[in-house]
Amino acid sequence: MDGTLRVRIWKGGADGALRTFEVPHRANQTVLDVVTWVQRNRDPALAYRFACRVGMCGSCAMTVNGVPRWTCRTHVSRVVRGDALTIEPLRNLPVIKDLACDMTPFFEKWQAAHGRFVPTAGRTDPPVRMAPDSPHRRAVDAGIECINCAVCHAACDVVAWNPDYLGPAALNRAWTLHNDIRDGARAARLRAVAGDGGCTNCHSHQACMQVCPKALNPTAAIAGLKRAVAGAVLRGRL
């Protein structure tokens, strides 16, 4: 494949601007390939983040033609409009420089939602038996493949409107742990996700589900948390 892409890339911090580069269009070229080509051949100071290049680490997410995507697995041919590509940092996170965002608020919300496993057994205890087809295990399976790329966080309108909202990724994580029968902090976690910035803020727009590169459905996870919270309130546990 020949030709030239006209690529507009965000340069600077929050008050930066788009700068246009001409990039050779190749077959099987990913958006991350384009950004890397620009850094190596046109703008060595261009800041961006990546690690694995194979869709595992979740570090290369950017906004491509207005939609948040994992750039290492996004082929240019799938998203290019004519010969134009616009690449910006993720929405809903502070911009450090160019295409690199500060992920601190994202992971702070992960912590605020008690997104860590709290074991109830020690290393000398026998492993807990959990049937693969049990409802709890299936609920965990549905959300466990999250790679923390923050694509859903960037796509979520409620995060944009309410900076305190924990967001789809943190709540999806909370839901997987809520269904983990080995976990010992489910009551505290449910209280954490039932608060002012919690799951009840979700409007079920499902943008998170639409953009998730791992095809997860955080909206369904949040709906599960809403049911759990409502049940806890009715039983007087919240």
Q: For binding to other proteins (CB under 8 A), which residues are involved? A: 158, 161-162, 191, 194-196, 198, 200-201, 226, 229-230, 232-234, 238
Could you tell me how many helices (H) and strands (E) the chain has, helices first? Answer: 10, 7
Nearer to other proteins, 60 or 171 (CB): 171
Find the shortest distance in angstroms from Cβ 103 to other proteins: 23
Q: Are 90 and 63 in contact (CB under 8 A)?
A: yes
Q: Which residue has the tokens 């965990």?
A: 140
Find the shortest distance in angstroms from Cβ 201 to other proteins: 8
The phi, psi pair for 84, rounded to 5°, reads -105, 135
Nearer to other proteins, 16 or 195 (CB): 195
Q: Are 189 and 171 in contact (CB under 8 A)?
A: no
Find the shortest distance in angstroms from Cβ 232 to other proteins: 8
If one counts every other C-beta atom within 10 angstroms of the C-beta of residue 106, the result is 21
Beta strands at 84-88 and 4-11: parallel, antiparallel or unpaired: parallel
Q: Are 176 and 138 in contact (CB under 8 A)?
A: no
Q: Are 64 and 31 in contact (CB under 8 A)?
A: yes
Q: Are 147 and 214 in contact (CB under 8 A)?
A: yes
d(CA 202, CA 198): 8
d(CA 238, CA 222): 17
Nearer to other proteins, 36 or 200 (CB): 200
Nearer to other proteins, 35 or 192 (CB): 192
d(CA 13, CA 33): 22
Find the shortest distance in angstroms from Cβ 71 to other proteins: 30
Nearer to other proteins, 131 or 234 (CB): 234
Nearer to other proteins, 118 or 238 (CB): 238
Find the shortest distance in angstroms from Cβ 227 to other proteins: 10
Find the shortest distance in angstroms from Cβ 196 to other proteins: 5
